[in-house]
Amino acid sequence: ELKVEQNPLFLSMQEGKNYTIYCNYSTTSDRLYWYRQDPGKSLESLFVLLSNGAVKQEGRLMASLDTKARLSTLHITAAVHDLSATYFCAVARSGTYKYIFGTGTRLKVLA
């Protein structure tokens, strides 16, 4: 069974600081996604990572994928309050389109 774990579950950080969220998954996958969810809202797609070593950046967020370690990271640079949200990674096993979501990381950026 494919399992996806994120850490930390909760993250409170000061504006201007850097931090990394980790996503580990248990079996072979050919794609990994990062989503953002604001309270009471839907899921917004941030990144899709398809291959080992893939790196994508959008604004203050950068995501990377290491398929050998079965690890993805979401790095936050110089955090701002607007980044406060819950971030999920999601993985689909090769040959299937059933996404398995991680537990989520609730990020709070303090002014």
Rounded CA-CA distance 98/36 in Å is 19
In contact, 6 and 21? CB cutoff 8 Å: yes
Shortest Å, Cβ 33 to other proteins: 8
Q: What does the binding site for other proteins look like in residue numbers (CB under 8 A)?
A: 30-31, 33, 41-45, 48, 50, 88, 90, 96-104
Please say which residue, 93 or 109, places its beta carbon nearer to other proteins.
Answer: 93
Please say which residue, 15 or 38, places its beta carbon nearer to other proteins.
Answer: 38
Count the Cβ atoms, other than its own, within 10 Å of residue 52: 11
Shortest Å, Cβ 97 to other proteins: 5
Amino acid occupying residue 50: L
